Amino acid sequence: MSKPIRLAVIGAGSAQFSLGLVRDLCLADSLAGSTVVLMDLDEQRLATTTALARRYAGELGKHLTFAKTTSRETALEGAGFVINTALAGGHRREEAERALVQSCGYYRGLYPSESGFYQYDLMLQVARDIERICPDAWLIQSSNPVYDGVTLITRETRVKTVGLCHGPFGGIREIAKVLGLDYEEITFEAPGVNHCVWLTSFRYRGEDVYPLLDRWIAEQSEDYWRHWTPKFHDTQMSPAAIHMYKLFGLLPLGDASRAIWTDAWWYNQDLESKRRWWGPEGGFDSEIGWQRYLDHLTEDLKALATAAADPKAKLTELFPPRTSGEQIVPIIDALHNDRRGNFIVNVRNDGAIDSIPDNVAVEVRAVVDGRGIRPLRTPRLPDLVMLGAIWPQILVMERRLAAFKTRDPRFFLQYLLFEHRTRSLEHAEETLAAILHMPGNERMLAHFEARA
């Protein structure tokens, strides 16, 4: 028997994400009859997404009700679950800031994105609106930075919050493909913080996979890389990931091999070094790989807009009715219908990983059911990983959150001073001034000036 929910999706104008979510909802019979409120500030994209959602559910004969609104408050009224997938300012703001910071001498910008201020502000606004309008709702934070965002929200509000990222599962699938393993028979543990998780346990049919990985590295890796033609997002078995395994003693999983920019700068100095470590295009974050990603998003959006304009187009051919593998709908089902499951989540630590402060968000396995989300305790990660990767990530996040919360730009300056590409104090000060006075950053400038 179905038990419907009321779900609000913030940032629903991302049709690719929203239609994938709708597909998973359509395939979850236990949530039949649910109402999905799609919210976005871009009315045209919102209208396209809503029309596609209704048509998709109709093609499958599923009973879901869709509403659209540009008002966040309206979307949240009566919601039992809220998904925040919004990117403040979109990729246009992100690219403009990246170009500015690159002109200041920081190849490919800063990591995390220098636009974090706007994301922090948006995430906190959403959470405070939930506290006020639908305080019993669960907030699922899916837009980046998940790590910073979940830490901020759980410190500043009482909202029940979980962050989700698909990176670990993509990494495991890539390892399985390269090593010739059946993905369904792999079990693993990969604790850490979002985009910085490490395979502490990796088993196939009960046997440790690390010896098999070691043999592949010794006997096959060089030949594999010699003929390697990776897609822009194939990073798991890259020379960088394997080198990090040798350097840290554990294999980084998913986005971890490319996202710990601050403490792995030597892979990312310029396009030549990126090509050495990530393949011919320089990996996902190079100017080539990232442009290919943006082009891919544009092509998908055009294809969906074309389908929306053609009433005869079969959406189930663009999005075949099979589950995506994402955790969002299964977690909603587990929480709402008390279906006990085991998931990888980003939640407040509260003792789940030894030696990480309780009020920092961690990415760990958790048991989820009608009683909530209960992270499983995991042993302390090795010192090589903690000192070389985890703690640097924590410190970057803490400086940026401190800048946002205290309105003190000296924390932002600290962030720049500890960045390996900063040449001098004057260089850091000039870069900070350029960011704060960039056209379009007036609200960010006013935020810091308000402290004076």
Return the number of other C-beta atoms located less than 10 Å from residue 245's C-beta: 19
Return the number of other C-beta atoms located less than 10 Å from residue 139's C-beta: 27
The tokens describing 430, both together, are 């000039």
Give the number of C-alpha atoms closer than 13 A to the C-alpha of residue 95, restricted to the C-beta side.
9
Length of the chain in terms of residues written: 452
Based on the residue annotation, tell me whether 255 is a catalytic residue of this protein. yes
Are 258 and 174 in contact, with CB atoms under 8 Å apart? no
How far lies 323's CA from each of 21, 127, 328, 368, 433, in Å?
Answer: 9, 28, 11, 19, 47
**Cα angle vertex 254, ends 248, 258, to 5°?**
65
The tokens describing 115, both together, are 């636009």
Pick the catalytic residue from 129, 148, 234, 255.
Answer: 255
**What is the C-alpha to C-alpha distance for residues 187 and 116, in angstroms, rounded to an integer?**
34
DSSP class of 14: -
Query: For residue 39, which of 68, 80, 81, 79 has the smallest C-alpha distance?
Result: 68
Provide the residue type at 43 as one letter: E
**What is the C-alpha to C-alpha distance for residues 116 and 54, in angstroms, rounded to an integer?**
34
Spell out the residues 6+ positions from residue 164 whose beta carbon is closer than 8 angstroms to its own.
Answer: 140, 141, 142, 146, 326, 327, 328, 331, 345, 346
The tokens describing 225, both together, are 């890389």
Q: Tell me whether residue 299 is exposed, middle or buried, using C-beta atoms within 10 angstroms of its C-beta: 0 to 12, 13 to 18, 19 or more.
A: exposed
Rg (CA), the chain: 22
Question: In sequence order, what DSSP letters do the residues of 286-300 get, joined into one string?
Answer: SHHHHHHHHHHHHHH
Based on the residue annotation, tell me whether 336 is a catalytic residue of this protein. no
Only one residue has tokens 């246009």, namely 92
**What is the C-alpha to C-alpha distance for residues 424 and 171, in angstroms, rounded to an integer?**
38
**What is the C-alpha to C-alpha distance for residues 333 and 355, in angstroms, rounded to an integer?**
32
User: In a 3-state reduction of DSSP, which class is residue 155?
Assistant: helix
Pick the catalytic residue from 42, 91, 121, 166.
Answer: 166
Are 333 and 359 in contact, with CB atoms under 8 Å apart? no
Catalytic residue positions, numbered: 166, 255
